[in-house]
Amino acid sequence: MPDTGTAGRRKAYRRGHHGEWLAALALMLKGYRILARRYRTRLGEIDLIARRGDLVLIVEVKARRSLIEAMEAIARESERRIEGAADLWLVRQPDYGRLSVRFDMVAVLPRRWPVHVENIFQGRN
């Protein structure tokens, strides 16, 4: 039976922070600059926002046992929440008109380097 008490939540929180740290490291090694971690808005939260040139990545980090499980963990409802939060972040950027945005995922898997999946979903047009 999973631990749903305070200790279980604390462990999940630490696991999430560790996964986001690994994902950020993997992206930085690919030349991206991390602009925000756990960016919160009234519409939702973005795990990581990264940038390289005029390309901005809106990144969902998923720690799962397999890549398939991580990819399946992003439901349509999550996509809408992430899109809304991304819209709020983007309109606050002074160079908004120049930016290209992509929605990516980084899967943090046991005993493996994080897997960066580009274009995990397409944002609104």
SS3 32: coil
% of the chain beyond a pLDDT of 70: 94
Whether 76 is in a domain gets the answer: yes
pLDDT of residue 3 exceeding 60: no
Averaged over 36-50, what is the pLDDT? 95
Q: How many domains, the chain? A: 1
Residue 74 lies in a domain: yes
pTM of the predicted model, to two decimals?
A: 0.88
**In the predicted structure, residue 40 carries a pLDDT above the cut 90:** yes
Name, in order, each residue with C-beta under 8 angstroms of 51's C-beta and a sequence gap of 6 or more. Answer: 32, 33, 35, 57
The count of C-alpha atoms lying within 13 angstroms of the C-alpha of 4, restricted to the half-sphere facing its C-beta, is: 1
Average pLDDT for the chain: 92
The CATH number of whichever domain residue 105 belongs to comes to 3.40.1350.10
Residue 88 domain boundaries = 6-121
Q: Name the phi and psi angles at 64, rounded to 5.
A: -140, 175
Asked, for residue 1, whether it belongs to a domain, the answer is: no
Mean pLDDT value across residues 105-109: 97
pLDDT at residue 125, rounded to an integer = 45
What CA–CA distances, in Å, run from 10 to 27, 38, 64? 26, 16, 17
**pLDDT of 59 higher than 60:** yes
Q: Residue 81 domain-assigned?
A: yes
Does 81 score more than 90 pLDDT? yes
